Structure 1
């Protein structure tokens, strides 16, 4: 069973000073474990983490909730910045506020999670600059590839609801080629359609504050060859899904897609374009290294955050769960890859 509960902290009925959406999943087994659960506050809790008294109050309450719910653990992964730039590089800047939060979690017995749900690090592009300046900040090879795509006849268009089947198939092809696991088609079609309807509503009402998304599709001679989904919320744009086909890759359609995404986000009033993910370890051993090099070329800044931390009221069950769940996930990933291949007829 899964349910969601929202907790908030306020000074009065009209002034929310902190909030957390807590997702709960019970363990589907008999006996004592039927009363156990796991809790997760995605990208939360939300609060001013520099406010020490508020921070202490929220953490106290979250720990109490975990105990009351008989949780194996409560996982949080707020966007608390630990630093910017690649570690040990000349751009490396430590954020003292973030370091203080990490130290407090350690003092309280929270553990850095071996199961990171969200990307701990990302690359952000400052969209406040002019388009000429955004191009100048790109690496030379990236700028060249943007212009090459234009010269080679890559055309772009905004996707529609009727494109979702094609987009899922392209995403599935990408996952098989690059070796990552995706969900079933129904999940993506639901998410994509929901946020695309938000974009349509925003266009009608001339209001871009509501969450929305749009697919950008690159075509060569009318044939879709690559696409990205860009999400918009609260002055930020997020590159969440990317997909491509093997055909016409030499025409560099993905570079033109990213440039158009930046231009559209800027036109919508967004000040930041979040490229959604960077390596946890900044060297070639990290599975995201190749993707990071592509994102790095777009001229963004690495932002390192706190990542996911677990509060485990019952160390025994937490240790048992931590030892078992990686094996279960490996099996699920293998089955997921096989299912995706089967859906493509490969």
Structure 2
């Protein structure tokens, strides 16, 4: 198959994504508006008949003082990753980005490699001989994932080394937790919650916790809780204007692209979370809560409301996003893994992010810079 690639309009890009079951929220045109430090461009692949057959949102980050760019396609591009002629898709993309001044290309194929059921994750956590989830026997291997990784290496792509703490990479998470919804009733999904989850949801209801949908005007309340969470969990928070920009950009593209949920109790907001929707894929994006009145269990109540709403929207998956791959009890992120898996989520490993150095010297310089950060 002969493919050509060119820049496309936002409308063309959005129409293509809308016609698919789902795509990453980082591969819709509005995501470029969330990242003002990057230049966003919509790419389109066309077949011999001129039909649009694939799209990608590429973010271009300039190097200081030089008109050269890092090109990044987070959780993309949206192409046929199982195609036998993958070179026909990726070669024109590299040529286009090189002509745009890119010195390196980073992408994240939205391809699953392995899955672990909730029971398999629970068993892995209980096994004293296991230190990482990746060392545990998976419930299933996705066919073709290992072959795809081999083909990318043969083309000159390099798998990014996982950075950050405990498997949380500097880019997008390789390990996530997802609750499968396809073909399941809400009763099935409720039965998939562990005992602790079901108990906590009842406690919240008995305590009088009320979950409400918020809007742009509620983002400062969310942000206050988010800042408290960042201090408690030892991470650097994003600034409030980031979330305001995110809300404005995403909801302008589609009114349900981003939602905000707030857990009220006795006149106070105890927890808040953002939810993102693209087609049948729903993500829990950012969560925040106070340490006060935790016995009211606002987080479980809020997540269950979000899970119910996702089901009502026709979701085929509810995605809790990143999880740690460490299984060590001493790690503070293990509690987050238990919380997400307790909702009936399976651990999912993606193929990870991949780099193609177009200028090896500049790519090496970027690697050194990132290692020192």
Which TM-score bucket, shorter chain as reference? 0.7 to 0.9
Once the two structures are TM-superposed, the CA of residue 241 in structure 1 deviates from its matched residue by 0.8
- For the residue of structure 2 that corresponds to 1:276, the secondary structure is strand
Alignment deviations for residues 126-147 of structure 1 (CA, whole Å, 9 cap, x no partner): 2242222212111111211111
Q: Please name the residue that 1:36 is paired with.
A: 68
* 1:78–1:307 Cα contact (<8 Å) kept: yes
Tell me the CA shift for residue 66 of structure 1.
Answer: 4.4
Moved over 6 A (4+): none
Instruction: Select the residue among 33, 39, 58 that pairs with 1:3.
Output: 39
Q: Which residue of 1 aligns with 2:264?
A: 219
Q: SS at 1:275's partner residue? A: strand
How far apart are the structure 2 equivalents of 1:313 and 1:160?
43
**1:250 alignment partner in structure 2:** 295
2-structure distance, mates of 1:10, 1:122: 32
Q: Distance in 1 between matches of 2:364 and 2:77?
A: 24
Q: How well do the aligned residues superpose, as a CA RMSD in angstroms?
A: 2.2
- 1:240 deviates by 0.1
Q: CA deviation at 1:182?
A: 2.2
SS of 1:266's partner is: helix
Aligned 8 A contact 2:62 2:68 in 1: yes
Pair 1:138-2:193 in alignment: yes
Structure 1 segment 1-346 matched on structure 2, within 5 A: 2-11=38-47, 15-29=51-65, 34-53=66-85, 55-85=86-116, 87-89=134-136, 91-114=138-161, 116=169, 117-127=171-181, 128-196=183-251, 201=255, 212-284=257-329, 288-327=333-372, 329=373
TM-score (norm 2): 0.77
Greater percentage in helix = 1
Deviation at residue 87 of structure 1 after TM alignment? 4.0
Aligned to 2:31: none
Aligned CA distance change for structure 1 residues 35 and 194 (closer, same or farther; 3 Å): closer
Structure 1 unaligned blocks of 5 or more: 202-210, 330-346
Q: Which residue number corresponds to residue 32 of structure 2?
A: none
Q: For structure 2, list consecutive stretches of 5 or more residues without a partner in the other structure.
A: 1-36, 117-132, 164-168
| TM-score, normalization by structure 1 | 0.83
> For the residues of structure 1 that align with 2:93 and 2:332, how far apart are their CA atoms?
33
Query: d(CA) in 2 for partners of 1:282 and 1:62?
Result: 38
> Structure 1 residue 273: deviation in Å?
0.8
Q: Is the 8 A contact 2:114 2:142 kept in 1?
A: yes
